[in-house]
């Protein structure tokens, strides 16, 4: 059973999560149109983009299994994507301050010979009430760049989160428990040696 995967993503966070679990990954960055369609729900949106990303890369003969995902932050019916500049990042964090929002990831695990596993995973997150100073300090770090909702929970933004319900790694960008379960259904599991090596590398 192979533990090599083709990761259809430019996200270093998704790559790191899979590598921590003992998977070897070949990265291919998909080119897809990420425009939201009229009346498309956030769940439908991330599910569609995950499938599009998987379809945009071609599984290689020595890999055979593709993992693709898309993550958004939603506040009610509003989708908060990746801010384009500091002002937008500041506005997003101000809107999230003291409120509950949802992080939603659609992912696809697809074998080149046909079987496809797909799921949408949600995590509820509540931010503490943030002062203007705290928001400005965080924005000034630049960590908001390339992050849905304008924050990275695995970094300095950990102090923003008051509570969460659901998968922590989903907020990072990949609901690891669910992805690993879907990979196992396709017979793709890391060897004990690979898991041990990944653990030793983090020590």
Helices (H), the chain: 12-20, 42-56, 86-96, 132-140, 168-172, 176-185, 192-202
Give the integer Cα–Cα distance in Å for 131 and 150. Answer: 16
85 noted as active-site residue? no
Q: What is the DSSP letter of 44?
A: H
Q: Which of 70, 87, 132, 181 is catalytic?
A: 70
Torsion angles phi and psi, residue 150, rounded to 5: 80, 20
* H or E element that contains 107: strand 100-111
Catalytic residues: 70
């Amino acid at each position: 059973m192979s533990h090599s995967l083709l990761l259809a993503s430019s996200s270093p966070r998704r790559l790191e999560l899979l590598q921590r679990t003992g998977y070897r990954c070949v990265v291919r960055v998909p080119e897809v149109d990420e425009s939201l369609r009229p009346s498309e729900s956030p769940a439908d949106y991330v599910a569609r983009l995950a499938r599009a990303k998987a379809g945009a890369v071609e599984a290689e003969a020595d890999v055979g299994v593709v993992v693709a995902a898309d993550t958004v932050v939603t506040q009610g019916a509003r989708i908060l994507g990746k801010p384009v500049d500091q002002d937008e990042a500041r506005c997003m964090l101000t809107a999230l301050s003291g409120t509950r929002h949802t992080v939603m990831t659609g992912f696809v695990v697809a074998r080149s010979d046909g079987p496809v596993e797909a799921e949408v995973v949600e995590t509820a997150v509540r931010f503490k009430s943030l002062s203007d100073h705290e928001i400005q300090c965080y924005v000034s770090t630049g960590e908001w760049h390339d992050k849905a909702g304008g924050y990275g929970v695995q970094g300095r933004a950990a102090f923003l989160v008051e509570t969460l319900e659901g998968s922590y790694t989903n907020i990072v960008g990949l609901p690891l428990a669910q992805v690993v379960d879907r990979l196992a259904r396709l017979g793709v599991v890391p060897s004990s040696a690979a898991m041990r090596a990944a653990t030793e590398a983090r020590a």
